[in-house]
Structure 1
Amino acid sequence: MTDGTSALPGSGRLRRPGAARKARIDRLATVGGRSGAPGAPGTPAATDEDTADVGVSLLRDAWRRLRVTPVFWVGAVIIALFVLLAVVAPWIAPHDPGAQLLIGQTSRARNSIAPPQAGYPLGGDTFGRDLFSRLILGSRQTLLVGVFATLIGLAGGLVLGVLAGAFGGWADTVVMRIVDVMLSIPSLLLAISIAVLFTNPNLTSVIIAVSVVQIPVFARLLRGQMLAQRGSDHVLAARALGVRRAPIVFRHMLPNSLSPVIVQATLVVATSIIDAAALSFLGLGSQDTASPEWGQMLGEAQDRIDSHPGLAFWPAGCIIVVALGFTLLGESLREALDPKNRR
């Protein structure tokens, strides 16, 4: 090539070589003009400097940093084990979580909880039910609440964020004022206010209450990303070419605004699990004792916390560990996908 560019081996793409590649071409020209494929006799091996300027996609660069980050792997392992436990819970739970199998060893006396024994590694709860089986089955209910509440909150936030960020004007003003009012109320208080509207609290009411709290978080984040995209060069070029608004929004602006929203969704799962446990602890969650939930188990153990702290320790520990796993994963993804951290 005479214009300062060279072809990549095995492809038709052109690229501008660095100083090392220029020196390599000069050496090849000196020894006879041989420019064979890499690895051919007489062709110097490619060095790190030769490939230093090769472009790398954002996702590939993020994975390159994630795979050497211990925090990411800790969070990923915790979440993987939690999801696996929730999926296989009905098959590995040794007993029916609602059956009062240890009722003969339990009464309403202060120190009558069935102790750990053969077949019951954690003993029984206040009603003579197997605590270990209830912990295992509780993981499924907790996962359902966390995932579905996050998905519903994400969907609602996407709708509001696109309306505010893509169109602006009065739509942006109306949506953001609603979001500001919702964000002015503490999240747990807002969730409690929504949950008490249901006459028969159940798992669905908990999911709705928690998901509504997350909608303004996603809406404000997406709106900010969409506003940044509105002034970008590729959007301005599309407008100059006469592309309609809908293709610009859904093909150019929205796809480039989703990365931080997806990362935020990972963090929101943790807060959704904690909020759902708080609602169940206050008696605003599912009342079905045959389908246990970790927050519900905490509420049942509160009158025995002084004499039998293990009844509260195990479900509280599970909530803390799972929330920590999602938090570690989300923070790792945020750092890896941040363009400022690219090298």
Structure 2
Amino acid sequence: MPESYVPKEAIGHGDGGSAALAIGEAESLERRPGAAPPGAGPPAGPLGKPRSLWSDAWHDLRRNPVFVLSALVIVFLVVIAIWPQLIATGNPYRADLAKAQQGSQPGHPFGFDTQGRDVYTRVVYGARASITVGVCATAGAALLGSLLGGLAGFFGSWSDTLLSRLADIFFGIPVILGGLVFLSVVTSTTVWPVVGFIVLLGWPQISRIARGSVVTAKQNDYVQAARALGAGNGRMLLRHIAPNAVAPVIVVATIALGTYIALEATLSYLGAGLKPPTVSWGIDISTASTYIRSAPHMLLWPAGALSITVLAFIMLGDAVRDALDPKLR
């Protein structure tokens, strides 16, 4: 029986409204045997200790079917991006003009493109470029934005003003137009120019999220106590502020990852992103768009793979946001 439990028989009847409220509370506790009394604190973990934000979030995520489904899809995409030969034994560059634009055949379930290349093999190998761009661009934008935004939010003053004005400049650059201008002069066929461009335009959004989180976290009592005890700026940032301000950044970065994959496909479709001979869903969609009437299968499969990938990352980000946001509990 909890220490704060008071039997209703022990409460006098001459105390007016306070006694009535106490009796009502005692009766409520009697009707719910084993219930935690008011103010008992957050749910306890397996060892009786209160769960932290991260353990509580993981506890919720494991029971969220949206998170489980999207995580399974993403794990599958990452595996085929690293080892595409596990499910596609063909060569994505091998062409047979005699089979150009032909539909599904035994051993070639997705048909062939305009050059007689196997669409199924190209869809599988196209995951590598999209996942690489999305993960690397998100990591770069998150690291750069968190570093600049966190430092500006912590120190304030002129550094905060400079970061805000610099972020406003990048926010004013149209993404598609900027990509067409920036990437049109790049002749490299690798993914790194596209990654660099996305990081260049993606860090301001995350920097604002990081700045706001740090400004909020540094006003907490435990940070003020650490400062009063003589903790340096580096210790307060790394030990007390960063672990409690990183959750919003993770949520935004997870959702942005799917957006960056779609952006890479859009730029490749317009001819400014990845360039042949790189295998990319955006390049294949651009090639197939001209033949959508005569050979719709050429457009259907890479576009479907792209849509499923973007949707999986957005669903994952939504699930992580719901788990990490205490206001939604």
Could you tell me whether the CA contact under 8 Å between 2:133 and 2:195 is conserved in 1? Answer: yes
Could you tell me whether the CA contact under 8 Å between 1:202 and 1:285 is conserved in 2? Answer: no
Structure 1 residues 53-110: Cα deviation after superposition (integer angstroms, max 9, x where no partner): 442221222223223322222211221221222222034313110010x31233xxxx
- Mark the CA change 1:49 to 1:241 in structure 2 (over 3 Å): closer, same or farther: closer
Q: CA deviation at 1:233?
A: 1.0
Q: CA deviation at 1:196?
A: 2.4
Q: CA deviation at 1:217?
A: 1.1
Whole-angstrom CA distance in 2 between matches of 1:217 and 1:58: 24
What residue number does 2:203 align with? 215
Residues 25-64 of structure 1 mapped to structure 2, 5 A cutoff: 47-49=34-36, 53=41, 54=44, 55-64=50-59
Whole-angstrom CA distance in 2 between matches of 1:185 and 1:322: 26
CA RMSD of aligned residues (A): 2.3
Q: CA deviation at 1:277?
A: 0.3
Structure 1 residues 213-272: Cα deviation after superposition (integer angstroms, max 9, x where no partner): 211111110001111122111121122222222211222112211111111111111011
TM-score (norm 1): 0.80
- Helix, strand or coil at the partner of 1:96: coil
Whole-angstrom CA distance in 2 between matches of 1:183 and 1:320: 26
Structure 1 residues 160-212: Cα deviation after superposition (integer angstroms, max 9, x where no partner): 11221111111111111010111123333333333224244531111111222
Residues 1-343 of structure 1 mapped to structure 2, 5 A cutoff: 17-20=2-5, 47-49=34-36, 53=41, 54=44, 55-100=50-95, 102-106=96-100, 113-289=101-277, 291-342=278-329
Q: CA deviation at 1:48?
A: 5.0
What residue number does 1:12 align with? none
Structure 1 residues 8-54: Cα deviation after superposition (integer angstroms, max 9, x where no partner): xxxxxxxxx5535x88xxxxxxxxxxxxxxxxxxxxxx945389644
Could you tell me whether the CA contact under 8 Å between 1:89 and 1:136 is conserved in 2? Answer: yes
What residue number does 2:16 align with? none
Q: CA deviation at 1:331?
A: 0.6
Could you tell me whether the CA contact under 8 Å between 2:150 and 2:210 is conserved in 1? Answer: yes
Read off the aligned partner of 2:132 and give its amino acid letter: L
Structure 1 residues 270-296: Cα deviation after superposition (integer angstroms, max 9, x where no partner): 01100000111111223233x411111
Structure 1 residues 119-176: Cα deviation after superposition (integer angstroms, max 9, x where no partner): 2111110111111100111111111111011111112112211221111111111111
Unaligned runs of at least 5 residues, structure 1 = 1-5, 7-16, 24-45, 107-112
Could you tell me whether the CA contact under 8 Å between 2:80 and 2:86 is conserved in 1? Answer: no
- Mark the CA change 1:86 to 1:200 in structure 2 (over 3 Å): closer, same or farther: closer
What residue number does 1:14 align with? none
Read off the aligned partner of 1:69 and give its amino acid letter: N
Could you tell me whether the CA contact under 8 Å between 1:281 and 1:295 is conserved in 2? Answer: yes
Could you tell me whether the CA contact under 8 Å between 2:111 and 2:298 is conserved in 1? Answer: no
Residue identity over aligned pairs, in percent, reads 35
Whole-angstrom CA distance in 2 between matches of 1:72 and 1:105: 41
Whole-angstrom CA distance in 1 between matches of 2:59 and 2:144: 33
